[in-house]
Amino acid sequence: MNIILVSSHLEKAKALTFTRRQLVLLLGAVFFVVVLMVMGLNYLSLKYVDKIDSPSLRSFVMSVLNEEYKKNQQYMRDNLDAMAIKMGQMQAQLLRIDSVGERLAELSGIEPQEFLFNQTPGQGGALSNMAPQDISFSEFDNKVQDLSRILDDRMSKLETLDTMMRQDRLEKKMLPSTMPVDVQWYSSSFGARIDPFTGKKAYHEGVDFVAEAGAPIIAAAGGVVVYSALHPEYGNMIAVDHGNDLVSRYAHASKRLVKVGQVVQQGEKIAEVGNTGRSTGPHLHFEVRHKGLPKNPSRFLKKSD
């Protein structure tokens, strides 16, 4: 790159020649100087804003600072609103846990005064010798998220325990605890897994048992058949209502042996293993639902030795 300088003070024009490398370095130096000047002006405006004599300059600096302050305040309000919503959800979860805890204490025969669910646990201790440290907003948010996950986990376990204890108290035979097929292991467990058709992460609402086609499927507990038909995804499926909002499902059967409204006993043959519906091979897909929500069947089933 050539730059030609022309001036009345010069006897003749002068030419300056820059290579690409020199031009890049020059532009970088100019940019760096501009950034330093901006940072310096920003620092000086913040430090000496109260000493600026020019009303117009002072007004400009104050408007910039006010705009930045408003942005920070809006950011804090948005985050506090999100935290308030999360806190409200956690309070609701705690109320549910208290309710389930009281029922469990009553079912197990524990004296009410031994577990005071409606009171905050006492805490105390000596003052620490370590220097106190303020908790950052991100640390606080992480603590809240962790506590929320723990509450969800505890609630799920307490609800399952509550269901099992109440069922055991009412009638043990009405709990789906008998293995629905004569196998010893699951081919696919309850919860998150890779969908065999899409290859993507999905939620599996039951457990799968690999068995030969035609193998007997038995009722995991006594109850009333509330569904016996061909389902577009479950194939030949049977659902048995065991009372107390507890239902078991048996899917992908090759043959259904019971009808809707029929009363079945625990251990009674109700279908045969097949490969119907959304299935990759002969197996039984078994579900347990409480109030319409899927529960982990392994918490109910008792595998034979």
In a domain, 191, yes or no: yes
Domain end call among 47, 65, 81: 47
In a domain, 275, yes or no: yes
Q: What is the pLDDT of residue 18?
A: 58
The percent of residues above 90 in pLDDT, for the chain, comes to: 27
Phi, psi of 271 (to 5 degrees): -165, 180
Q: Last residue of some domain: 12, 27, 47?
A: 47
Domain residues for the domain of 36 are: 2-47
**DSSP state letter for 302:** B
Tally of domains in the chain: 2
**Cα distance between residue 163 and residue 170, in whole Å:** 11
In DSSP terms, 202 is beta-bridged to 193
Q: Which two tokens stand for residue 222?
A: 């006594």
Residue 295 within a domain: yes
Contacts of residue 286, defined as CB under 8 A and 6 or more positions apart, other chains included, come to: 180, 206, 207, 208, 209, 220, 248, 249, 250, 251, 297
Q: Check which CATH number belongs to the domain holding 178 and give it.
A: 2.70.70.10
For residue 152, is it within any domain?
Answer: no
**Residue 75: inside a domain:** no
**What integer pLDDT is reported at residue 159 of this predicted model?**
77
Whether residue 140 lies inside any domain: the answer is: no
| Position 281 pLDDT exceeds 50 | yes
Count of C-beta atoms within a 10 Å radius of residue 135: 9
| Region 119-128 average pLDDT | 65
Phi/psi region, residue 215 (left: phi>0; alpha: psi -120 to 50; beta: rest), is: beta
pLDDT of residue 185: 77
The answer to whether 209 touches 287, Cβ cutoff 8 Å, is: no
Per-residue pLDDT reduced to its tens digit, 169-221: 665 667 888 999 998 777 888 888 887 778 888 888 899 999 999 999 999 99
Asked whether residue 131 carries a pLDDT value surpassing 80, the answer given is no
Asked if residue 264 has pLDDT above 70, the reply is yes
Q: Model confidence over 68-111: pLDDT tens digits? A: 777 777 777 777 667 767 767 777 777 777 777 777 767 666 66
* Mean pLDDT score, 259-288: 94
Q: What percent of the chain has pLDDT over 70?
A: 66
The answer to whether residue 146 sits within a structural domain is no
Q: Is residue 55 part of a domain?
A: no
Q: Report yes or no on whether pTM surpasses 0.75.
A: no
